[in-house]
Structure 1
Amino acid sequence: MIEINNMWKRYGDSVILENISARVAEGEFITLVGASGCGKSTFLRMLLGTDTPSQGQILLDGKPIADEPDSDRGVVFQQYSVFPHLTVLDNVVVARAFADSRFGFLFGARKRAAIAEAEELLNIVGLSHMQHRYPDALSGGMRQRLAIAQALILKPRILLLDEPFGALDPGIRADMHELVLRLWRQHKLTIFMVTHDLKEGFHLGTRLWVFDKLRNDPQAPNAYGAGITYDLPVGACEPELLEEIDQSMTATDAVVDSL
């Protein structure tokens, strides 16, 4: 489904990502881990189409991926992308309206269909009892469920999650894990999820990608970018290797914090 060929990303003289190549089949769930600033979110933005490779290409079904977001790709960020002046139900409906109308409004049968679709999704994510409330009445976990419903109403083939659970308490995060896994199976999504939590990354999905630099120059720290240093099938990794990856991420974060 997705083919990444010799992809690089540079900002000026700084190399963020270098020479990444990978293939992803439809229905896979890829979790991305790595130290802060290693390019995970940049990679996600290039999949979304809000950023483009400096070199190389990303193909979707054998064709260059669209260089702007479309209905094939839904995204959920850590910061909840909800409209505070709209009810929970209207927040989901408006996502459909923006996709189907130049002006963000639906009328008649199209509006009724969008409302019915939104109500069904809210029931799936466990928010039907809150559909007439406003976002300020929701907990953090509920707002994240709302953001997921917003993304799913467009029926994307690819769902991009950028640290969606980082701000949630552990108990709520566990509930969100189960929700995302259930939605992944139910809607047959292809998912890419960025996380700083190695255990979370290894618990979810089918493959774990570790982003890190293969080359380092202390005199020119921005001369080289990160690549995929590990591509691991979830559940088939020795504990010693996970410990090695965790220590490497921690050490890199410590260096970044000291700069």
Structure 2
Amino acid sequence: METLHFNDIYKSYPTKHGEPFLVLDNIDLTIHKGEFCTLVGPSGCGKSTLLKLILGQDFATSGQLTIKSTPVGHPDSTRGVVYQKYSLYPNKTVLQNVLMGPYFKIPFWKKQERQNAKDYAIELLTKVKLEKHLNKYPHELSGGMQQRVAIIQALITQPEILLMDEPFGALDPGTREFMQTLLIELWEKYQLTILFVTHDLEEACFLGTRLLVLSQYYTDDRGADFQRGAKFVVDRPLHKEPTSTHIKETAEFAELVESIRHQGFNPAHLQHVTEFDLSHPQSWSTLNSQENNSSH
């Protein structure tokens, strides 16, 4: 079942000189329910812009973006988000933080519904080993524990897609690896649909079932002086043992990381749009005649 769909999306911003600056260039993407997609790309390629479009914090200049065939509007519970900086209220306990979303939608007089929401919150917090910390405040928790609360805070509303923007970037290596395997377990148990943005290529290649590389480093037939935005230069399936970290130590894994670095992060390596690695079975790209003269 299709969850997220980009069709021919362009996004540009005005500059002080009046000319638009193109950030996203003819983006096509379909993500189906249950996929775990990791997204990487060089600085300034538009990863944050892409997330803002999905969240409804910004809107495309042209093209169509839908969630379950409905055009994306302003932020709502269909999209959960976890940022690198913990989005917890300092004056509320772990349990109170997690219950803010459900309780906002459930009137106080519907006591059974509120109790059901509380039971579900405790179930989720127990799953991430926080059952002994329900009544603690954020400042009493480690960074990894705070991020676990933030993930459950996003999950409890059961969003159609969970967006994660560098969620483990501030954690130490040991905690980060623990959180990676924990996230895979949550994805498997609750059949989540995830789009995970990271700057860490090893993390991107380890997590998930699908790897997306957004990059402005490519060429096409629009001429040397044409101002291009970023495209998906890689969209490929990831094959691995779902929860084993040992894969990171293999030669095959190292080769994958270096391949992604070369294809998406090397300004000297400008692939033509017809040469992109779009090997994922759900990958697709619509090129106009200016981008690919051979399409005439």
Q: Same fold (TM over 0.5)?
A: yes
TM-score (norm 2): 0.76
Deviant stretches of 4+, over 4 Å: 236-241, 247-252
Residue number in structure 2 paired with 1:5: 7
Deviations 1:118-140 (A, max 9, x none): 21111111111111110001111
Q: Which residue of 1 aligns with 2:76?
A: 70
Tell me if 1:44 matches 2:51: yes
* 1:206 Cα deviation from its structure 2 partner: 0.8
1:159 partnered with 2:159: no
Counting only pairs closer than 5 Å after superposition, residues 74-85 of structure 1 correspond to structure 2 as 74-85=80-91
CA distance in 1, matches of 2:225, 2:146: 42
Residue by residue over 1:162-213, the C-alpha shift from the partner in whole angstroms, topping out at 9 and shown as x without a partner, is 0100011111111111111111111111100000011100111111011111
Equivalent residue for 1:124? 127
* Aligned pair partner of 2:182 in 163, 171, 179: 179
Match of residue 136, structure 1, among 131, 135, 139: 139
Distance change in 2, residues 1:220/1:140 (3 Å): farther
Greater mean alpha carbon deviation, residues 233-242 or residues 17-26 = 233-242
**Which position in structure 2 is the counterpart of 1:199?**
202
Identify the residue that residue 256 of structure 1 maps to in structure 2. Answer: none
C-alpha contact 2:106 2:114 (8 A) present in aligned 1: no
Unaligned runs of 5+ in 2: 15-19, 241-251, 268-296
| Secondary structure of residue in 2 paired with 1:85 | coil
Return the letter of the residue paired with 1:148. Answer: I
Alignment CA distance shift 1:241-1:146 (3 Å):
closer
Q: Which residue of 1 aligns with 2:239?
A: 235
Contact persistence 1:97–1:106 (CA under 8 A): no
Are residue 53 (structure 1) and residue 60 (structure 2) matched?
A: yes
CA distance in structure 2 between the aligned counterparts of 1:241 and 1:203, rounded to whole angstroms: 10
Q: Distance in 2 between matches of 1:53 and 1:191?
A: 21
Q: Alignment identity in percent?
A: 44
Tell me the alpha carbon deviations over residues 57-97 of structure 1, each in whole angstroms, 9 at most, x when there is no partner.
Answer: 112222322x1122221110111000000011111111212
CA distance in 2, matches of 1:241, 1:178: 20
* Offset of residue 220 of structure 1: 7.8
Are the counterparts in 1 of residues 205 and 257 from structure 2 also a CA contact under 8 Å? no
Mark the runs of 5 or more structure 1 residues left unpaired by the alignment.
253-259
Write out per-residue CA displacement over residues 2-50 of structure 1, whole angstroms, 9 at most, x where no aligned residue. Answer: 2211101111121111101122221111100011221112111211222
**Greater Rg over alpha carbons, structure:** 2
Seen in structure 2, the aligned counterparts of structure 1 residues 194 and 94 have a Cα distance that, compared at 3 Å, is same
Cα shift at 1:244: 3.9
Query: CA separation in 2, counterparts of 1:54 and 1:71?
Result: 24
Q: What is the correspondence of 1:215-234 to structure 2 with a 5 Å cutoff?
A: 215=219, 223-234=227-238
Q: CA RMSD in A?
A: 2.4
Equivalent-residue separation in structure 2 for 1:23 and 1:115 (angstroms): 34
Distance across 2 between alignment mates of 1:234 and 1:51: 30
Which residue does 2:100 correspond to in 1?
Answer: 94
Residues matched between the structures, number: 246
